C-alpha cells in the first residue's frame, strides 16, 4: 500500500516538475501589454530571425499567415550596382485591412552582411510603425533621428559602371592522383532604367594527373572559356528589345570556337515595375551560330554556319500562399526543325494549410540538337571524368519537401545557446 502511494507521489512530482522549471511567462500571467502586441508574419527566406526578434521585440511573431494582423513579404532582385534591392511589402489584415505599403532598400556590393541586416531591419521598423501606433504598445516606442543628418546630392563618378573580378584556384592531391583547377571571371555591368549592359568573361581550366601501379602518369586537361554580352533597351512598361552575343571555346562540348548572335524582343504581361512580385515574360530570339569543332562531329563536320531561334516563357509570382518560378523554353535550327530542344525548370512553394508547406524543385529537358558531338567512341576515362560530351535525348532532375510545424502560434523568444539547426540565424551553430 505504501509502495503504491509513493509511486503516485513520484508520478505527481514528475508531472508538475516541468512547470516549476519552465514557469509560464510572467508577462502573460500579469496581463502585460505583450498580449496586445501586433501579430506579425514575416515572409523572408534570407532574414536573420534571431536578430530581427531582438531588434523588434514589440510585436508578436506568429507562424501562420492566417493568424497575422500584418503580413510582410520580402523579395529581392539584383541591382545594377552589384548589390540587391530588397522590397518589403506590408499587407494589413483583420483590423488593419486595407492598410498596405511598400518600402525598398538597395544595398551596394561593398556592404557586409551585418550592414545589410541592420539596414533592412531598420526598414522593417519604419514600415511597422503605422500599425504599432494603433496598439497600446505605441506608448513604449521612442522615435529618434540623427540631428547631424544633411541632405546631400549623390554624384556617381563611375556613371553606373560596376566591375567585379574573381579568381578561384583549387588544388588537391593524393598518392596516385592530383587535380589543379583555376576559375577566373570578370563582370562588367551598367544598368539604368533605359539601358541594361552586362559583360561576363569566364575561364575554367583543370588538370588531372593519375599514376597507375606501374608508376605511369596520365594527364587529362579540360578547358571552358567564354564571353557573354547582353544589351537590352527599355521600350515601355511591357516591351524590351536587345541582343545576346556569346563566344566560347570548350573541350567538353567539342568547341574550338562557338559564336552566337541572338537579337531578341520581350513582352511582360505585367508591368516591369511589378517584377519583384509577379512576372510573365515572353522572350523570342532568332540569330546566327558559327561553330568550329575540335574533332569531326557525327555528321562529319568540322565547321557549321547555322541559324536558330528560341522562344522562352518565364513566370514568377510571390504571394501570401507561396511562390512560383517557372521557365519553359523551346528552340530549333532553321535548316532542320527536327534538331530541337525543349526545357522546363522551376521551383514552387505552397502553404497548404496552417503549419503545412510543400516545396517542389524540378528540371526536365528533351534534347535532340547535339550537332557538336564527336565522331567515334568515348574512352572510359572520358566518360567518367566528363571530358567529352555524351549523347542523350533527355535530362531530368528534381526534389520535393513537405514541412509541417505545429505548437504555439507565437515565437518571440530568442535563445542562441548551443547554436541552431535553423538556417539564417547564427554565426556559430551546434552539431
Residue listed under C-alpha cell 513582352: 267
What pLDDT score was predicted for residue 331? 95
DSSP code string of 269-290: SS-GGGTTTEEEEEEEEEEEEE
What pLDDT score was predicted for residue 405? 64
What pLDDT score was predicted for residue 401? 84
**CA dist., res. 261 & res. 287, Å (int):** 6
Angstrom distances, CA of residue 362 to CA of 230, 278, 345, 366, 403: 27, 20, 6, 14, 18
Tens digit of pLDDT at every position of the chain (431 positions): 555 556 556 555 555 544 444 444 434 433 455 667 888 888 887 787 777 887 888 888 887 778 888 888 888 877 776 678 888 889 888 888 888 888 888 887 777 777 888 888 888 888 888 888 887 777 777 776 666 555 455 566 778 788 889 998 998 888 778 889 999 999 998 888 888 999 999 999 998 888 877 788 888 888 999 999 999 999 999 999 999 999 999 998 899 999 999 999 999 998 887 776 788 999 999 999 999 999 999 889 999 999 999 999 999 887 767 778 899 999 999 999 999 999 999 988 877 776 677 888 899 999 988 888 888 776 666 665 566 677 787 889 988 888 776 655 455 454 555 555 554 444 344 33
Domain ranges of the chain: 32-139, 235-404
333 DSSP assignment: E
424 dihedral zone (left: phi>0; alpha: psi -120 to 50; beta): left
What pLDDT score was predicted for residue 3? 53
What pLDDT score was predicted for residue 20? 46
In this prediction the pTM is: 0.62
CB 247 within 8 A of CB 227: yes
Please give the sequence-ordered ranges of beta strands (E in DSSP) within 192-321, or none if there are none.
195-211, 217-234, 239-250, 255-268, 278-293, 303-319
CATH number of this structure's domain 32-139, picked from the four choices 3.30.160, 1.10.10, 3.30.70, 1.10.3470: 3.30.160
Read off the C-alpha cell for 225: 572559356
Residue listed under C-alpha cell 511597422: 128
Please give the sequence-ordered ranges of beta strands (E in DSSP) within 322-381, or none if there are none.
322-333, 336-353, 356-368
DSSP 3-state of 97: coil
From the CB of residue 266, how many other CB atoms can be counted at a distance below 10 Å? 19
Read off the C-alpha cell for 227: 564571353
What pLDDT score was predicted for residue 263? 96
Which CATH architecture is the domain 235-404 placed in?
Answer: Beta Barrel (2.40)
From the CB of residue 142, how many other CB atoms can be counted at a distance below 10 Å? 5
Amino acid at each position: 500500500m505504501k509502495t503504491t502511494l509513493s509511486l503516485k507521489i513520484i508520478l505527481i512530482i514528475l508531472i508538475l516538475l516541468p512547470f516549476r522549471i519552465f514557469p509560464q511567462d510572467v508577462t502573460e500571467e500579469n496581463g502585460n501589454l505583450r498580449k496586445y502586441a501586433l501579430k506579425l508574419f514575416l515572409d523572408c527566406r534570407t532574414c536573420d530571425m534571431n536578430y530581427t526578434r531582438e531588434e523588434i521585440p514589440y510585436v508578436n511573431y506568429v507562424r501562420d499567415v492566417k493568424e497575422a494582423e500584418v503580413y510582410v513579404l520580402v523579395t529581392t532582385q539584383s541591382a545594377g550596382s552589384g548589390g540587391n534591392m530588397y522590397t518589403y511589402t506590408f499587407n494589413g489584415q483583420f483590423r488593419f485591412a486595407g492598410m498596405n505599403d511598400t518600402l525598398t532598400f538597395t544595398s551596394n556590393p561593398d556592404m557586409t552582411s551585418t550592414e545589410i541586416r541592420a539596414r533592412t531591419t531598420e526598414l522593417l521598423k519604419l514600415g511597422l510603425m503605422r500599425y504599432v501606433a494603433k496598439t497600446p504598445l505605441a506608448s513604449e516606442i521612442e522615435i529618434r533621428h540623427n540631428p547631424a543628418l544633411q541632405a546631400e546630392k549623390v554624384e556617381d563618378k563611375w556613371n553606373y559602371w560596376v566591375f567585379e573580378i574573381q579568381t578561384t584556384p583549387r588544388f588537391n592531391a593524393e598518392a596516385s592522383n592530383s587535380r589543379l583547377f583555376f576559375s577566373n571571371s570578370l563582370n562588367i555591368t551598367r544598368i539604368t532604367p533605359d539601358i541594361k549592359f552586362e559583360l561576363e568573361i569566364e575561364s575554367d581550366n583543370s588538370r588531372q594527373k593519375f599514376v597507375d601501379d606501374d608508376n605511369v602518369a596520365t594527364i587529362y586537361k579540360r578547358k571552358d572559356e567564354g564571353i557573354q554580352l547582353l544589351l537590352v533597351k527599355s521600350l515601355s512598361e511591357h516591351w524590351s528589345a536587345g541582343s545576346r552575343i556569346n563566344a566560347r571555346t570548350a573541350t567538353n562540348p567539342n568547341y574550338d570556337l562557338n559564336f552566337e548572335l541572338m537579337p531578341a524582343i520581350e513582352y511582360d504581361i505585367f508591368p516591369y515595375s511589378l517584377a519583384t512580385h509577379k512576372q510573365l515574360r515572353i522572350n523570342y530570339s532568332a540569330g546566327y551560330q558559327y561553330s568550329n569543332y575540335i574533332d569531326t562531329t557525327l555528321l562529319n563536320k568540322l565547321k557549321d554556319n547555322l541559324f536558330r531561334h528560341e522562344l522562352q516563357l518565364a513566370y514568377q509570382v510571390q504571394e501570401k500562399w507561396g511562390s512560383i518560378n517557372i521557365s519553359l523554353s523551346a528552340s530549333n535550327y532553321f535548316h532542320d526543325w527536327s534538331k530541337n530542344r525543349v526545357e522546363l525548370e522551376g521551383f514552387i512553394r505552397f502553404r497548404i494549410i496552417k503549419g503545412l508547406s510543400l516545396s517542389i524543385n524540378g528540371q526536365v529537358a528533351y534534347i535532340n540538337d547535339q550537332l557538336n558531338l564527336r565522331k567515334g567512341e568515348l574512352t572510359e576515362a572520358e566518360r567518367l571524368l566528363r571530358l567529352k560530351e555524351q549523347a542523350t535525348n533527355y535530362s531530368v532532375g528534381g526534389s520535393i519537401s513537405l514541412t509541417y510545424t505545429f505548437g504555439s502560434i507565437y515565437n518571440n523568444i530568442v535563445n542562441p545557446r548551443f547554436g541552431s539547426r535553423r538556417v539564417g540565424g547564427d554565426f556559430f551553430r551546434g552539431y
